[in-house]
Structure 1
Amino acid sequence: MREPKLIWQLFPINILILLGAMLAIAWYGNHSLRIFYINQMVDNLEAQARIIAPQVGQLLVKANFVALKDYCFQAGQRIPTRLTVVDQQGKVRCDSDRDPATMENHADRPEIIKAFNGEIGISQRYSATTKQDMLYMAIPVVDDKISLGVLRTSLSLAAINRELQRLFTRMALGILIITFFAGCITLVVARQITRPLELMKLYSQRYAGGDLTEKISVTGSEEIVSLAQAMNKMAAQLDERMRAVQGKRNELETVLAGMVEGVIAVDPEDRILYMNNSAMEQLGIEQTSTKRSSLLEVVRNIDLLRFIQHTISRDKSGEKTIVFNQGKCDEKILQVHGAQLYDAKKNRIGALIVINDVTKLLRLENLRRDFVANVSHELKTPITSIKGYVETLLDEAGELPQHVLDFLTIISKQANRLQAIVEDLLSLAKIEEESDREEILLERGSIRNILQNAIEACSAKAAERNIQLILHGEDHVYAPINGPLLEQAVINLLDNAIKYS
């Protein structure tokens, strides 16, 4: 439901308040004037009654009711007032407008009752006799403190009602005119109030759309101007921060776009948040927008999909080697690293995947390994031959000159050294071959036998340096081991210890 505008909230309220106030004033004025006119009429009726009362009293004392009737008729003709005389029993003795004989007993009339009690009786009511609203004023008629009856004077309220009705009509017309002009003024004032607010609304929509450069310039009350200044300050701060964020974002995108490694960011629903060009190239994806696309729609390798989903669901990072396009001419070997993404509140928001194309590196490594293994095997035979010939010559040392013996000794040492290097290379190639397996093969074996073999292999070097190798420990110690790897590791430790002792 659309909310009403401020101008249409202010306008009806002001008009209703103004109209209510004017009506209240009109009602109060009309009521006050009515009371004023009635009080004036009461005063006139009382004055007239006071003048007529003495003559009425004399006629009542004489019980001359015929003369009393004539007097009331004549007096009622001279003044525009109805006169009525009532005796102590409430019987109407004379009336200036009606025949007393046709009138009912007036003892129960409110103004008559008060007059009987010695008070001035005043009453307003509809008269069944005259068929109109009447104002009655009654005073007691007294002779030597003896109550003879009541003299009542009355006037019709029709004239007052008509006058008040005309006055109220004029006041209502005035109220309508005043309300019309007040409404126009209210619209103008409300428009002056809402125009700056509408302008600020327009600028706030521009701010929401990212246009934070324009400033709001409004005039009006202090509150509106202060609000506009606050919005300008807010827009300037937001613009500064947005520029800083945009700059950092551009820097980050530049760095990620320039990386050789492929980078993919995904959310917990397997939707792609970011993918750089390297990742698209490595995975054979067309250079189109992949943001917010489903991972299943973009990535076609099942092993990579499983790794990404596994990374999202677990709490630690991991890595895996994946063969992409296996068996095809463009086969690739990808080293994939995965880690979880968290927001500032430590809530998991997805995962980050880094892809390295290690195809060339692994090929070169395999070439190096094969070369080392082949060269080592090829060198082993001539080195063995050289050692054999040198040892044969050294066995016949008595027939050779001393300098030849020195050369042969040097050759023998260097041949032994070269043979040790070749054996180390072969061992290294074997270790690398074992490490390439996903799991190292372990078999239950004797630890003591491994240590004893390592000591025998290093005993000659130890003897040359006058070092004695002694094995202490239990004879029957077994564990799951890889015998050749463990033996080579112990030999390397002993060889280094002998060499640097």
Structure 2
Amino acid sequence: MRRRSFFRTIQVKLVIIYLLLILVAMQLIGVYFISTVKNSLITSFTTNLKEQADILSKFAAPSLSPNMETDGDSPDNTTEDLNLVVRNLFSISGAEVQVLDANGRLVATSLQVHQSRIGQKNKSLAVSRALQNIPDNEEEFIDEDNTRKKSIALPVTHNEKIVGAVYVVASMTELYETVNRVNQIFFSGTLIALGLTGVLGILLAHTITVPIQGLTRQAEAVADGRFDLKAPVLGEDEIGRLSMAFNVMTIRLKEALSANEEENEKLVSVLSNMSDGVIAADEHGVIMIWNRRALELLDAERLQGKELYDVLSLPAEKLEQLEQGRVQTTLFTKELQEQDAGEVSESLLKVTFTPIHRRDRGITGTIVVLQDVTEQEKLEQSRRQFVANVSHELRTPLTTIKSYAEALNDGALEERELSERFVGVISNETERMIRLVTDLLHLSRFDSNGAPLRRRSAPIHDMLDEVADRFSFQLRQKSIKASVRVEPGLKTAWVDRDQIDQVLDNLLSNAIKYTLDGGTIKLTASKSTDGTELEISVKDTGIGIPKKDLARIFDRFYRVDKARSRNMGGTGLGLSIAREIVKAHGGTISLQSELNEGTTVTFTLPLLQEGGESA
């Protein structure tokens, strides 16, 4: 352990940094210098070979020319003279110089051992390229003896004709030996530099680490709570200023701890007077701190030692997500016992979880904030219901307008009488939608009787005929026969025509949607047995409603078949809205149904004369 700690000290790290810097610098310089020397030597070596080959090519050009006048000398004498010149004048240390004719056959060579090859053809690629007058025929290779060599082939020209070639092959052993000697010199120099740097680095690092060690001991004392000690200041350098800053920090830390205790007292006071409930729990979910408002919201006397799981009545999986921060807020309902009336009421609480993080331990606790959002949720629910009502009630006239517009687009526009009728219906439905938007604002006040009705005398027969006419297109689409029957003697009713039209539209729309193709729908108006009420019923031969659903059929948002109702555009509000309108008129509404046989919806309205008196 001590050995491992030693290698982690600043002194060792500084020495290693110095050594690495020197090593990197020496390596970069060495690579650059050796590469430059090597390239210079190779360039000089290659230039020397080229110069020798170029001189020899000029000298041998007359001897290789086929039109040369030998003045009685035979070709053999010429070849012998050329061999003599090559061996004596153009001998390069460790190199072989060859003179070849235009066919690539060896004419002269500088090596005595290769004299037997005279007359043989040199098949090397460099020679072939030179005989084709291709310049820069250089090649570096390693021969069978593992010796690195370089070859150069130059063309021999006479009177602008290629009469032969000069081929030089030289060993590069001495050149690379020189490069290796330079490498060894740099390696030795690097080792000496590293050794000196290591000694100097140890001395320099010691002057830095000794004051830091003293400062560390003082910091440990402060961590133990001894604020009266001071770190020694040994100079005015960076470490000396660090020691002075540490002493100042010690004084301020002592003052901060005192201020923290005062802030804790203030925090307790704030928590006690907050309008929201606050609970603090540890990493295991055990409650440690809470305020008075939290006790009121949770209807509890004390929370000490209890777990969030029990207090908030949340599923374990949900609580874990909240504590880990994957989910921040949730809602739950809490039953409260009314002390005065002894009744049980429910309040909706919004719970916000904020995990407490520590750098070294992760999540070490949770802060829970409780807010009573009961009234807020009631307002939001009312808003959602109002928006749903508007959407539902505008859907039917929009469907009618769309149907007649499509009929006009499909060809009814060409028939003037029919098109005028369709345009009239569209105009009426548009005006009705405008009225509906205004009336629906009053519908929200029905529960509190704050929406007055606009009663006027309405012909009962016309009222039923018009609703059947508005849905004639849908009826024809499904081949449904609709009939209207009004009991003799019934002429008019004193009602809010728009509201009753809305009820009839809703009931007929439902009847059409849930009646199979080829069925029948009957609209009937009659007096009640005592003669004081008008009874209007809509009877269909549709799919019917199960008995278990009849008791809740008028509840808001209740649907018998949710998937089917949504596919047909229903919202589950139609019958509840119809019930509110009928109740506002002082009537009642009821529904009888048999599964797969049909449904009959009947609503009653008081028969009033103008002024509100019974007929």
- TM bin, normalised by shorter chain, reads 0.3 to 0.5
Query: Which has the larger Rg?
Result: 1
**Could you state the TM-score of these two structures normalised by the residue count of structure 2?**
0.36
Higher strand share: 2
Higher helix share: 1
